[in-house]
Amino acid sequence: MVFEWFNEQLLQMKWLYNLIQWLVEDVFELDMATRVGGSIHFFVYDTIKIFILLAALIFIISYIQSYFPPERTKKILGRFNGIAGNVMGALLGTVTPFCSCSSIPLFIGFTQAGLPIGVSFSFLISSPLVDLASVLLLASIFGWNIAMAYVIVGIILAVVGGTIISKLKLEKYVEPFVFEHVEGRIDITLPTLTKRERLSYSKDQVKEIFVRVWKYVLIGVGIGALIHNWIPESVISAVLGQENIFSVLIATLVGVPMYADIFGTIPISEALLYKEVGLGTVLSFMMAVTALSLPSIIMLKNVIKPKLLTIFVGIVVIGIMMIGYGFNAFSFLIM
């Protein structure tokens, strides 16, 4: 009962849903069954809920992150080799930056520190794809089963992707400047932060990330409201319905060029799932947007050579599509 209350009132914010419904129906006298009333409720409720959760979750996660600065993360990863290193790279990616672009500098730092390239790529895939804040946001909308399934497949993709790149011995396709001053980079003196400094860091992170993502959240919620209330289900089903064998491919290819993070894609995915788009298609779209945004690919192009970039993008795209088709086939087990 405690967990159910926590899930409904703190994550799903049923109280907020009811409050916005009262405002829409009793104050503004709009019927939520209509397109206008439904759109207003969806937009206001989702926007406020996401911003409240973002502020709280980013603060908590940032406080945790303060114990894992890049120097400490490098030292931890430096202790592992082979598949164990890829697993640790993927797991540590879950407590680091919230978007792919901010992961690139850490990827460079890890490679410069002498870490195996496969470990760095496992981190690079996992970091924007899976983080603790996104897990709770996903749980607030889709439920814990889907949220945990997303985490598991995201980590598996990161581990497998990094392992493949490691086995292919592709270090020669990293730009030479990345390997400058490799020796001794792991043995770095770790800064010690006081509690006050950790709190200050967490507040600064909330401000910084809010400035970076608020417009994408609004755009995402706006698109979600449009899909939810204005686009006929028949149109959505024709393009992204499970009966369309290319739905996962379309969702993945549409997601790659977009620049957003998981916070902006969640309301769109919520609306698509409401229109009975397959779970795997929805997850493929989310993963493509977060893991392979066009700006991050452009940034990465300055660090690695075209062949390695092509292999990296190919591995992630194929992995995302395999995950999508797998979830479309077996989603009945978790929904």
pLDDT in tens, 40-67: 999 999 999 888 888 887 888 788 878 8
* pLDDT score of 334: 80
Average of pLDDT values for 299-311?
88
Cβ pair 225, 260 in contact under 8 A: no
* pLDDT score of 102: 66
Cα–Cα dist 130/216, whole Å: 18
* pLDDT score of 187: 47
Of the ranges 196-200, 289-293, 320-324, the best mean pLDDT one: 320-324
pLDDT cut 70: percent of the chain above it:
91
Between 254 and 4, whose confidence is greater? 254
Taking alpha carbons only, the member of 102, 28, 41, 110 closest to residue 72 is 110
Cα–Cα dist 260/294, whole Å: 10
Cα–Cα dist 214/192, whole Å: 32
Cβ pair 285, 317 in contact under 8 A: no
Flag whether pLDDT at 234 surpasses 90. Answer: no
Flag whether pLDDT at 70 surpasses 80. Answer: no
